Structure 1
């Protein structure tokens, strides 16, 4: 054990307690949970949750969990303007962190939200949780998707086409003469 580990743990617990207090009044109500082919996290799951405080809808969060279960991607976190600046967005992220215990990665972070994500990363780091840098652009998203492409099931139509061409190749090889000079 390092010399400062107990002190470090104390501050992590203290920061986590503050985030717990922010998240305690929030409730995430799942409106949609699906895994459509073509979505960024396919064959993982996409979620659309309403954010409620005291039974009133104050925003929504659109996120997905990749099929490896090792990252949660925030596509959109939107809070009604009248409720912004109250820590609701941070509380939502903390609830998602507590529920899934995986790094949270924003997708296409808007410039106007840079301050929010900067503060959120600092608060999460203080609590021992992880908010990773945003993914932006097709190339970054495709690179990330390559981590789970081995889990993507082959579409039925593509499988049938592949099997047909494998059959054609096998038939063609069976009909081919044995060697040169044979008619």
Structure 2
């Protein structure tokens, strides 16, 4: 009886910690998406855990496509401080290539993107992917390509930045710095 009680008391912290670990993922990121031009999946919960996250709807044939360079520079500059950038290509504004291989070439080869890129999906309206449905409900739907959504590590604070917001040297970068410097709950 004492051994059973001891075993139960030892196991109790493990049983209690499992739900805490499972619930540390904001609902917004509690999903998997297919990686761009791949059969592999991106586990958004794992990618974003305890990280400041910048979500961007992208397109390969847009006047803002050159922002890939700035987004990559932003990612390189702040990833070791806790920033992750995730791109979501979309043809909702009719400026994405039809073939994902071509989209991948633009991102990975032409612009040297190393941050995670999801497969092409819808980002507006009732058929938007779950991430953009949540972002739109929390702030506003993207009005064009390269809208940016800055999400705090715990997923409670979400800020929207329009397509015209430059990745470096402006309000977006200032907001990223401020979010990275704000301690998250429980730390």
Structure-1-length-normalised TM-score:
0.29
Higher strand share: 1
Q: Larger C-alpha radius of gyration, 1 or 2? A: 1
Larger relative contact order (CA 8 Å, sep ≥ 6): 2
Higher helix share: 1
Structure-2-length-normalised TM-score:
0.28
